[in-house]
């Protein structure tokens, strides 16, 4: 029997809902503390006290001294310090071993270092994303001065043996930098005991506010600032402190659940996996079992299903999940994480990541499995036509009765030129979407193939029936059908600034 529609958030690794106590702490900081924490008078000193308390709270949760914590605008900025830190390495030892499954917030700074002449060696994960100490032994060379290895992967939930890996690095005189964004709140983090030199954190992954994070620098570890200007954070990170965000970060840190409270979540995740395997025995699991992965995260490959369409259909039923593919601005690239684990591009495009939070209940689980039963049976998916770039024709595009809608997530940013005659609507512009009600068919396009199916399913929920979407988006069409793209270009009516990003 199918249950009433619910909203189930299965995407906690993207971000977490801001908790009530965090909201209250932030509101209090915003209303009660207006001064700049660097100013000497009473209000300024009170503001400085908020920053100081946040630092002490985070330091206590990590079992380190407060002065080892530097607040940043988020984990992306904290990870970017790998560049300024690497610049302090001795000239003969400018080689870095890293985990190729790192978040782009770490990979991109590493690529910049490579362009600057640093040597990089990627470790080789196994099929569940694990990298052991023996892999470091295999890759070791005398020039290595830095090892970059996350504590938990955001797509698969895989935990890494930070203690063992950092000890192996230290034994050879190398430094150890760990992105711990996805580990904070999931496992106890005693940084002193783990032996890392640098670690990074993000408030919004633990029910805190977005736009705030921290960098831990072990006392005595080499350091050079990345953001220079005023003398904030002891001269290590310039910029007026984001007081309300830090108040929220501190409140979130205080609510970090004890490891015992995550075992119920792990049981629910395991029950989901069991249920999914029953529904679809061909399902492939990409997350390690038991305590080797985050309690609420699982990555599943459903061969034969396109994750963009699964995502749209699940969204139609009120379920938020993530695809195993990174939506980059250039093209619909399969996830670098899954490729590094040995999955093919096709398998990566059939992969979903589900990350449950502490509020995930047995009722949510039953609903989730009911929806998967419907979606995987495939009857519903025929309700929306999927048009592959290879099947797009000019006759179709110029049909008189066809309404073409181009979905943009961020209309203020550049993207590919929409098809001639397209109506461009922002994904979040509800009134504009409510105006889409033509008598004839609607064809939806987007940049890389994720946003159009989502909108198609929500138009269907509003009662529209004759709907089709362009698979792989306009970048897919441009790459797959350059002939058609060139012919259409001459007839395009898109705005010129919409025409610039090259895939
Ligand atoms: N590192 C990991 C592992 C992440 O999952 C994320 C966010 O998704 C980041 C870094 C970036 O964090 P922030 O959003 O605070 O910049």
Token digits of residue 164: 């063992």
Report the residue among 150, 178, 186, 202 best suited for mutation to probe ligand 1: largest number of ligand atoms under 8 A from its CB. 202
d(CA 2, CA 224): 58
Taking the CA of residue 79 as reference, the ligand 1 atom at the shortest distance is 10
> Which of ligand 1's atoms lies nearest the C-alpha of 78?
16
pLDDT in tens, 156-191: 999 999 999 999 999 999 999 999 999 999 999 999
The upper half-sphere exposure of residue 400, i.e. CA atoms within 13 Å in the direction of its Cβ, equals 0
Which residues does residue 158 pair with via DSSP β-bridges, in sequence order?
A: 293
213 in contact with ligand 1, CB cutoff 6 A = yes
Structure confidence at residue 324 (pLDDT): 59
pLDDT for the residue 61: 96
Residue 430 CA neighbour count, 13 Å, CB half: 0
Predicted confidence at residue 379, as pLDDT, reads: 66
**Looking at the whole model, is its pTM more than 0.85?**
yes
Low-confidence ranges of the chain (pLDDT < 50): 1, 325-330, 493-503
Q: CA 425, CA 407: separation in Å to the nearest integer?
A: 5
pLDDT (0 to 100) of residue 476: 87
* CA-nearest residue, atom 5 of ligand 1: 154
Q: Which residues are part of the catalytic machinery?
A: 327
Would you give the DSSP letter of residue 211? T
For strands 284-285 and 297-301, give the pairing. Answer: antiparallel
| Residue 152 near residue 295, CB atoms below 8 Å | no
Q: pLDDT tens across 353-375, in order? A: 999 999 999 999 999 999 999 99
Cα of 210 to ligand 1 centre, how many Å? Answer: 10
Burial class (CB within 10 angstroms; exposed 0-12, middle 13-18, buried 19+) of 263: exposed
What is the model's pLDDT at position 337?
97
Q: Which residues pair with 433 in a beta bridge?
A: none
Does ligand 1 lie within 6 Å of residue 109's CB atom? Answer: no
């Amino acid at each position: 029997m199918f249950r009433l529609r619910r909203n189930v958030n299965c995407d906690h690794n993207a971000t977490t809902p801001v908790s009530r106590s965090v909201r209250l702490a932030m509101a209090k900081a915003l209303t009660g503390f207006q001064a700049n924490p660097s100013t000497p008078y009473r209000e300024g000193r009170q503001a400085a006290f908020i920053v100081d308390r946040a630092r002490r709270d985070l330091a206590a949760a990590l079992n380190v001294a407060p002065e080892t914590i530097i607040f940043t605008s988020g984990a992306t900025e904290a990870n970017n310090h790998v560049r300024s830190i690497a610049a302090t390495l001795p000239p003969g030892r400018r080689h870095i071993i890293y985990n190729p499954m790192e978040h782009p917030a770490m990979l991109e700074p590493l690529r910049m270092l490579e362009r600057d002449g640093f040597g990089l060696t990627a470790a080789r994960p196994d099929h569940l994303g694990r990298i052991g100490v023996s892999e470091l032994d295999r890759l070791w060379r005398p020039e290595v001065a830095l090892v970059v290895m996350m504590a938990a992967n955001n797509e698969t939930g895989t935990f890494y043996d930070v203690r063992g890996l950092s000890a192996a690095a230290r034994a050879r005189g190398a430094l150890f930098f760990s992105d711990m964004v996805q580990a904070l709140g999931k496992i106890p983090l005693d940084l002193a005991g783990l032996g890392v030199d640098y670690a990074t954190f993000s408030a919004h992954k633990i029910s805190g506010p977005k736009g705030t994070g921290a960098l831990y620098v072990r006392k005595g570890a080499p350091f050079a600032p990345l953001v220079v200007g005023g003398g904030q954070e002891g001269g290590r990170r310039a910029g007026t402190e984001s007081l309300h965000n830090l108040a929220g970060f501190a409140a979130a840190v205080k609510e970090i659940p004890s490891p015992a409270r995550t075992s119920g979540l792990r049981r629910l995740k395991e029950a989901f996996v069991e249920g999914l395997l029953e529904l679809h025995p061909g399902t492939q699991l990409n997350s390690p079992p038991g305590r080797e992965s985050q309690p609420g995260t699982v990555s599943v490959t459903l061969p034969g299903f396109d994750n963009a369409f699964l995502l749209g259909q699940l969204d139609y039923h009120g379920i938020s999940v993530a695809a195993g593919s990174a939506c980059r601005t250039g093209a619909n690239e399969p996830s670098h994480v899954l490729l590094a684990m040995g999955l093919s591009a096709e398998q990566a495009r059939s992969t979903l990541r589900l990350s449950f939070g502490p509020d995930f209940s047995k009722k949510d689980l039953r609903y989730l499995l009911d929806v998967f039963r419907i979606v995987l049976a495939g009857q519903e998916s025929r309700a929306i036509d999927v048009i592959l770039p290879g099947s797009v024709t000019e006759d179709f595009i110029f049909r008189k009765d066809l309404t073409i809608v181009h979905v943009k997530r961020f209309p203020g940013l550049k993207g590919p030129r929409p098809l001639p005659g397209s109506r461009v609507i922002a994904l979040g512009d509800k009134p504009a979407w409510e105006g889409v009600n033509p008598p004839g068919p609607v064809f939806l396009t987007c940049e890389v193939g994720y946003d159009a199916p989502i909108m198609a399913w929500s138009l269907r929920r509003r009662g529209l029936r004759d709907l089709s979407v362009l698979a792989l988006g306009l970048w897919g069409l441009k790459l797959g059908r350059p002939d058609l793209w060139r012919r259409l270009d001459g007839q395009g009516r898109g705005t010129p600034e919409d025409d610039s990003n090259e895939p």
